Structures are given as structure tokens and as C-alpha cells.
Amino acid sequence: MKKLFKILWRSIVVLIALLNLVVIFHAYKLTHFYEAAAAPLTAKTTWNNISDIILGIDYYKQQNSLPDTVLETHYLRTSDGLTLEAWYIPATAAKGSIAMFHGHGGKKSSLLPEAAVFRKWGYNTLLVDFRAHGSSQGNTSTIGQKESEDVLVAYEDLKNRGEKNIILYGVSMGAAAVMKAIHDGHVKPAKIIAEMPFASLTDAVEGRLKIMNLPPQPLATMLTFWGGTLHGFWAFNLQPQFYAKDIRCPVLLQWGRQDPRVSERETLQIYNNIAGSKKLVVYEQSAHESLFKKEPLKWLAEVQLFLR
């Protein structure tokens, strides 16, 4: 009996160790983007699919599509030595500037439709590729932790141009990074527009697991722990729901009712904690996607009203 217990106990220990090893692989892949040129050109084989299950899916930087408008390419330098690429597109007789930040796995050119609207309304736009995304340097994404510094350097770029009316616009991870940058105390925008931010990094991981039809717990907690550990920070502290308490400028918080990744609970937690004036707009037909593209008339009305 004692021998059987030892075998059972050792088997459990081995299984736990193997599970953690698999989670470590997935945490690494979730926070790592390979260069776009390295993306495979052939279809996946059975072995590739098995490898994805065990080692995680390879993610590649998305390549930007160039806009059909005059722009200035800005190269922004982070404190840890990375160069970020940003597009500055001026408006005629501008009354302010809007810095725009995409979501995890995205790219700055995905925000060109919204940027065109902002310029039509009289705002310069600065579209930024986060580290490890698009045309920016780096291959590691911390899903908002270090990206908050990317928000800071973009803000300072506009401020150094003499811009006084700076508005920050972020989508998903971009919104979370904006909120952390304000929490850190170095960014003081006139207003922010936050679309679909997650309440905590653990919530964000749970949302990803749900759309993959995987049990959210305990995998989300394990992925959060190892994702932060691999990159040298305590990932459980990445919580936009608490950063909201330090936001005192006007906030337009937007969320899609059909969003499978960010829940209504998360959205209300953030909204209720925002210290300044605020408005929550729910898009009934939208999921985790461009709210402007999905429900353009509502987006145009709400955002234009907020910017007045």
C-alpha cells in the first residue's frame, strides 16, 4: 500500500511538473512575436498542430498597410533601447492631437479608419506600433506592462511639439497601457477614449482561453504567473480596474455587448473606479473588434459628442 502511494504521489508530481512546463511554453509564445518575414508560407502539417498544442502557437508581427495620405514617420526611443515606429498625420487648422494605440497582436495601420475621422474633425493623429508589433523593434510583449512606457514616449513626442491638447485613444491592450501610463503619473492627457480594456491581466488570459474553448482556471492563473515571471514582473499587479482610480480627466469607455474576451463585469469594474467625469457606451451588436467598423453611426455620434 505504501509503495502504491509513493508511485501515485510521484506520478502526480510529474504530471504537475509537465503541466507547468507546457504552460511555460504557452506563456512564452503568448508574449513573443516573431518577425513577419519568418512566417511560414506552407500550410500546417499534423506535426505542426501537435506542436502547437504542446509548445504553443507561433505569433508573427503584422505588416502595416501604408495609408493614402501625407504623413511623417517618427522613431521613438524607449528607456530600454527599443525604437518604436509611429505615423504622425497632421490635420488642417488642428485643435489638438490624438495618440492612438492598437491591441495585442495588432498594428498601427488597423487604426487608420478612426484616424481619418479624427483628422476630419480637426485633430492631428499619432499612430503608434507597440514594441514587438508592426514595424517597431522588439519581440516581447508584456500585454500592457512595459507598453505603458510606449504610451509615455508617444505622449512626450507630441508634448515636445508644443501640443497642449493631447488625447489618448486605446483599444484593448492599448487602452490598458494608456490607463497604466496615467497611473504611473507621467502622462496627463486632456481626455482618453478607452475601448474594450480588460480589468486585469488574469481576466485577459481567461478571455483568450474561453474563445479557445479551454477551461479558464487554473490555466489563466498559471499563464499569468509564468508570463510575468519570464519577463521579470509580477503580472497579477497589472490591473487596469485599479489604475482607473487615478484617472481624473474625462473618459469615454466603450465596450461591445457581444465581446467574448472582455466581460461586462470587467467593464463595470473599470467604469465604477474612474475618478473623473466619465461615460460608458455599450455597442449592442459588437464583439472584440473595431467598434467604428461594426457600428459606425453610433461610434461617430458618441465620439464626436465626447470630443466637443
- Dist. CA 143–CA 241, nearest whole Å: 15
Based on its alpha-carbon atoms, the radius of gyration of the chain, rounded to whole angstroms, reads 21
Amino acid at 145: Q
- CA dihedral (177, 182, 186, 187) positive or negative: positive
pLDDT, position 177: 98
Average pLDDT over residues 207-220: 87
Q: What is the pLDDT of residues 39-97, one digit of tens each?
A: 877 777 776 667 767 778 889 999 999 888 889 999 999 999 999 999 999 999 899 99
Average pLDDT over residues 156-168: 96
pLDDT, position 1: 67
Residue 44 has what DSSP assignment?
P
Other beta carbons within 10 Å of 295: 19
Whether 94 contacts 84, CB under 8 Å: no
Whether 272 has a pLDDT exceeding 90, the answer reads: yes
Whether 100 has a pLDDT exceeding 90, the answer reads: yes
**Alpha helical stretches, state H, 121-190:** 147-160, 173-183
Average pLDDT over residues 284-302: 98
Q: Enter the C-alpha cell of residue 253.
A: 469607455
Average pLDDT over residues 161-165: 94
Percent of residues, the chain, with pLDDT higher than 70: 98
pLDDT, position 25: 87
Whether 216 has a pLDDT exceeding 90, the answer reads: no
Whether 4 has a pLDDT exceeding 90, the answer reads: no
- Dist. CA 178–CA 99, nearest whole Å: 10
Average pLDDT over residues 178-184: 97
Segments of 80-233 assigned E as strands: 83-89, 97-101, 124-128, 166-171, 191-195
| Residue 72: Cβ-neighbour burial (10 angstroms; 0-12, 13-18, 19+) | exposed
Instruction: Name, in order, each residue with C-beta under 8 angstroms of 264's C-beta and a sequence gap of 6 or more.
Output: 255, 257
Question: Which residues are registered as beta bridge partners of 140?
Answer: 32
**More confident: 204 or 40:** 204
Residue 237 has what DSSP assignment?
G
Whether 8 has a pLDDT exceeding 80, the answer reads: no
- Dist. CA 308–CA 306, nearest whole Å: 6
Task: Parse the chain into domains and list their residue ranges.
Answer: 1-60+211-233, 62-200+238-307
| CATH fold label, 62-200+238-307 | Rossmann fold (3.40.50)
For 74: left if phi > 0, alpha if psi spans -120 to 50, otherwise beta; the answer is beta
- 286: confidence class by pLDDT, cuts 50, 70, 90: very high
Peptide bond into 218 cis (omega under 30): yes
Half-sphere exposure of 109 (CA within 13 A, CB side): 14
Average pLDDT over residues 105-113: 97
Average pLDDT over residues 30-37: 90
Percent of residues, the chain, with pLDDT higher than 90: 77
pTM value?
Answer: 0.92
- 258: confidence class by pLDDT, cuts 50, 70, 90: very high
Question: Which residues are registered as beta bridge partners of 84?
Answer: 76
Give, in order, the Cα–Cα distances in Å from 217 to each of 27, 233, 234. 15, 21, 19
Only one residue has cell 511555460, namely 24
Average pLDDT over residues 163-190: 97
- Dist. CA 197–CA 204, nearest whole Å: 9
- Dist. CA 183–CA 308, nearest whole Å: 25
Mean pLDDT, all residues of the chain: 93
